[in-house]
Amino acid sequence: MDSFAQKWIDLPEFSDAQMTNVKLSKSEKSLSFLLNSSTSPNHLCVLNLFNTEYTKVIDTLNPAMHPDDLVEAEVVRYPSFDGLQIPAVLYKPKNMKKGEKIPAIVWVHGGPGGQSRIDYHAQFQFLAHHGYAILSVNNRGSSGYGKTFLKAADGRHGDLDLKDCIEAKKFLVSTGYIDQNEISIMGHSYGGTTVGFKS
């Protein structure tokens, strides 16, 4: 909002990307921010508020790599054991042959109360690059889907949230390109604890 002219400033659309660490400069001439997507790590960008043009000041991807070789993640939703829709971020390898069955990894984020989003994730990109599909699950108890969803696993952690992750297997098999005998589960922090409850 231009508070002198009392009118809104139209900013460029960044589809499938996230802006974080947004700063208005002291002069109020520039907006600077970090911009990331599934195929690009946090780039430092500066946007001129007079002409709304922006420049990528620092490209943080390894210069030896090209974003087109990386996997664009997509958000999917699948029904859990009780019908609740579970959002998840899917990384599907790029160079799959027709009819090929590939292994998959279900990833459980930390928290409880964290969220998997479409941002650059070197580990997922590496695995997808080498032929694994990754499904990063936002089981009930995750942030970003309202208070009811966030509190839906309260008192039942390690049970309901884990069931949401286990149901991911049915979704993966339903895609038609996942080998149902080659599905594994891993997680970080509380996600690792969740995975531990399964064994």
Token code pair at residue 6: 């009392």
Count other C-beta atoms under 10 Å from residue 125's C-beta: 20
Instruction: Provide the minimum distance between the beta carbon of 26 and another protein in the complex, in angstroms, as a whole number.
Output: 5
Supply angle C-alpha 168, 173, 177, rounded to 5: 125
Comparing CB distances to another protein, the nearer of 48 and 85 is 48
Question: What part of residues 55-94 is at the interface with another protein (CB under 8 A)?
Answer: 55, 57-58, 60-62, 64-66, 68-69, 94
Residue 126, number of CB atoms within 10 A of its CB: 12
Closer to another protein at the Cβ: 46 or 84? 46
Q: Which amino acid is at 129?
A: H
Copy the structure tokens of residue 109.
């984020």
- Candidate list 17, 18, 30, 179; residue touching another protein; CB under 8 A: 30
**How deeply is 129 buried, as exposed, middle or buried, from its count of CB atoms within 10 A (0-12, 13-18, 19+)?**
middle
- Given a contact cutoff of 8 angstroms between Cβ atoms, the answer to whether 135 and 167 are in contact is no
Interface with another protein, residue 5, by CB under 8 A: no
* Smallest separation (angstroms) from another protein to the CB of 122: 4
Q: In this complex, which beta carbon is closest to another protein, that of residue 44 or of residue 84?
A: 44
H or E element that contains 21: strand 17-24
Tell which residue, 1, 5, 11, 2, has the closest CA to residue 52: 11
Interacting stretch for another protein, rule CB under 8 A, among 4-12, 39-47, 105-113, 160-168? Answer: 39-47
The residue count for binding another protein (CB under 8 A) is 32
Strands 102-108 and 178-187, sheet pairing: parallel
Q: Give yes or no for residue 126 binding another protein (CB under 8 A).
A: yes
Region of 7-15, 50-58, 80-88, 108-116 interacting with another protein (CB under 8 A): 50-58
What residues line the site for another protein (CB under 8 A)?
Answer: 21, 23, 25-27, 29-30, 32, 34, 41-42, 44, 46, 55, 57-58, 60-62, 64-66, 68-69, 94-95, 120, 122-123, 125-126, 129
